[in-house]
């Protein structure tokens, strides 16, 4: 078994177009959620989201690339470029042959589906662009990353709704840990902020019309976001040998399945995933200083998650910090665990705990230190990142300071 | 068919019961309708009467739309029809 470290990070999300801007926004407790801006938004009852603004494909990608890149692929490639650039790695020879890319997304090219359904159903066209399928497929982003950076090892895409990125990163971690690959590019992305994407979510009646307020007694639902987070997972010896700047260690992970309900969360499933991650990372519960919560801001998730944390950590639950950065960047669905991993890295590396903003009223069912509204300076050695998906599929990562 | 009969029909179908088993005093919980079933029922009612029901599953108690019994649901729908169709 090899130790695994992160040597590069990249992102595009509502808080910023790179890691520095995103972490600055998290430190300042800035909200990236605002009015949605796209065609037919006036026909939606939910009109807010963590939309990425000012990210233009034109100028960034050429005409041929743009005809192949859905917005979720565009975000992914920008984040991958930043992450791999930071790592200083170039992939050739044996390194290229063994290194791969595993990304998470729930919906893949949702904007491409939406635009082309419009053309054939609404506008009555009988012909679509030849690249509709390669543009919308869930593995398009991973494929383009592999082509752009010459990654020829194990590569695929994971779809487990809101836990997609965490499941993807757990797989990448496992491959580096077992020695199957020296380096894996991992993370995830999502872009379903379009008419059809938001309309589908509206139907479930769990979306907030005004704000995402995780753990606050007056929370009234989730708010969608969009973007990508991409990381370079590298064999520790490989990273050390080349003198790489190491951001943190990936110490362990666990996955669990509730096997109970298609949308309602389960305390038992969440607890088992957190417990499993601690065991896998070989850390005691009282070593964990911070948890980046799934924290969707729905009535059901937040109380279930807090009850699970109380079960797993016992008295230590009152000493650790837990926050939901979804309050700032929204819920990136399949990309959310990846963007939230940035808050974990910031906690370990910079000693800054990202806050849960929008927090207004204590909820006795969420009676933990949720780092309300303002970031906090604190030294932590071990952190967890939770993701609990619709379908009852959970994945928790454990990271350690290095 | 009256609003009452139609609503009872929709709720009975959701609960997999005969309409005669659904009374105005029944609560959705008594009929075995869970939160997903409730959201489905509200959708079916909106479609049937072409109205929009203000309901957020995160704060069912805060909604103006009272779902405590079948009767309160019928009254709520009649009110919404009067408001939204006028």
Select from A45, A262, A299 the Cβ nearest to the Cβ of B58. Answer: A299
Q: Hey, which residues does A396 pair with through a beta bridge?
A: A254, A386
A235 and A257 in a common domain: no
* Nearest C-alpha in A relative to B54: A205
Is residue A246 within 8 Å of residue A6, measured between CB atoms?
yes
Task: Give the domain extent around A323.
Answer: 253-400
- Annotated catalytic residue, options A144, A331, A344, A366: A331
Residue among A204, A208, A300 minimizing CB distance to B39: A204
Q: What is the DSSP letter of A45?
A: S
- Residue A298 touches partner B, C-beta closer than 8 Å: yes
Predicted complex ipTM: 0.81
Taking contacts as CB-CB distances below 8 angstroms, the residues of chain A near B59 are 220, 299
CATH class of B3-84: mainly alpha
Sheet holding A382-388, edge to edge: A156-158, A100-104, A183-190, A227-235, A4-13, A248-257, A393-400, A382-388, A288-292, A321-323
Query: Are A206 and B57 within 8 A, CB to CB?
Result: yes
Cβ–Cβ contact A204 with B under 8 A: yes
Q: Of A17, A144, A162, A329, which is the active-site residue? A: A162
Q: Is residue A248 part of a domain?
A: no
Q: How far apart are CA B74 and CA B86, in angstroms?
A: 18
Strands (E), A67-115: 100-104
CA B33 to chain centre: 11
What's the pTM value of the predicted model, to 2 decimals? 0.95
Q: Are residues A232 and A257 in the same domain?
A: no
In this structure, is residue A247 part of a structural domain?
no
Strands of A160-247 (E only): list them. Answer: 183-190, 227-235
**Could you tell me if A70 and A198 lie in one domain?**
yes
The closest alpha carbon to A109, from A149, A76, A146, belongs to A76
Of A144, A238, A294, A329, the active-site residue reads A294
Residue by residue, pLDDT tens for chain A (402 residues) are 999 999 999 999 999 999 999 999 999 999 999 999 999 999 999 999 999 999 998 899 999 999 999 999 999 999 999 999 999 999 999 999 999 999 999 999 999 999 999 999 999 999 999 999 999 999 999 999 999 999 999 999 999 999 999 999 999 999 999 999 999 999 999 999 999 999 999 999 999 999 999 999 999 999 999 999 999 999 999 999 999 999 999 999 999 999 999 999 999 999 999 999 999 999 999 999 999 999 999 999 999 999 999 999 999 999 999 999 999 999 999 999 999 999 999 999 999 999 999 999 999 999 999 999 999 999 999 999 999 999 999 999 999 999
* A274 lies in the same domain as A232: no
Q: Does A220 touch chain B (CB under 8 A)?
A: yes
> Which of the listed residues A214, A241, A268 is the one where a domain comes to its end?
A241
């Amino acid at each position: 078994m090899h130790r695994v470290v992160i040597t590069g990070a990249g992102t595009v999300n509502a808080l910023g177009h790179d890691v520095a801007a995103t972490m600055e926004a998290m430190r300042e407790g800035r909200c990236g959620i605002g009015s949605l801006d796209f065609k037919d938004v006036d026909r939606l009852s939910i009109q807010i989201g963590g939309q990425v603004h000012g990210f233009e494909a034109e100028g960034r990608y050429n005409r041929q690339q743009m005809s192949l890149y859905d917005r979720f692929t565009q975000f992914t490639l920008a984040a991958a470029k930043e992450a791999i650039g930071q790592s200083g790695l170039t992939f050739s020879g044996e390194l290229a042959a063994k290194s791969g890319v595993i990304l998470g997304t729930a919906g893949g090219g949702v904007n491409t589906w939406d635009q082309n359904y419009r053309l054939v159903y609404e506008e009555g066209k009988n012909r679509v662009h030849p690249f509709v399928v390669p543009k919308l497929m869930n593995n398009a982003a991973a494929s383009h990353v592999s082509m752009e950076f010459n990654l020829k090892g194990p590569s695929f895409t994971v779809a487990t709704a809101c836990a997609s990125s965490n499941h993807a990163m757990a797989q990448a971690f496992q491959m580096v840990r077992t020695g199957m690959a020296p380096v894996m590019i991992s993370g995830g992305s999502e872009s379903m902020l379009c008419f059809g994407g938001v309309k589908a979510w509206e139907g479930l009646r769990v979306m907030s019309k005004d704000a995402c307020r995780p753990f606050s007694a007056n929370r009234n639902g989730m708010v969608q976001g969009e973007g990508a987070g991409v990381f370079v997972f590298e064999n520790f010896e490989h990273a050390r040998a080349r003198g790489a700047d190491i951001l943190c260690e990936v110490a362990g992970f666990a996955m669990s399945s509730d096997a109970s309900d298609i949308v309602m969360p389960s305390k038992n499933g969440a607890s088992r995933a957190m417990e499993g991650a601690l065991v896998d990372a070989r850390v005691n519960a009282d070593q964990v200083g911070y948890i980046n919560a799934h924290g969707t801001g729905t009535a059901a998730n937040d109380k279930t998650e807090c009850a699970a944390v109380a079960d797993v950590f016992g008295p230590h639950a009152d000493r650790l910090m837990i926050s939901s950065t979804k309050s700032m960047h929204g819920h990136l669905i399949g990309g959310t665990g990846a963007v939230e991993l940035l808050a974990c890295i910031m906690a370990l590396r910079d000693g800054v705990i990202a806050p849960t903003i929008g927090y207004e009223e204590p909820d006795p069912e969420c009676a933990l230190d949720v780092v309300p509204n303002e970031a906090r300076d604190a030294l932590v050695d071990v952190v967890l990142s939770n993701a609990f998906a619709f379908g009852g599929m959970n994945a928790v990562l454990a990271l350690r300071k290095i | 068919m009256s609003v009452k009969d139609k609503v009872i029909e929709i709720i009975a179908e959701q609960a997999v019961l005969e309409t005669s088993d659904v009374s105005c005093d029944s609560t959705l919980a008594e009929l075995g309708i869970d939160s997903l079933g409730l959201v489905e029922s509200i959708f079916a009612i909106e479609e049937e009467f072409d109205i929009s029901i203000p309901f957020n599953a995160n704060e069912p108690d805060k909604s103006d739309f009272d779902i405590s019994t079948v009767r309160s649901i019928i009254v709520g729908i009649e009110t919404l029809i009067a408001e939204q169709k006028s």
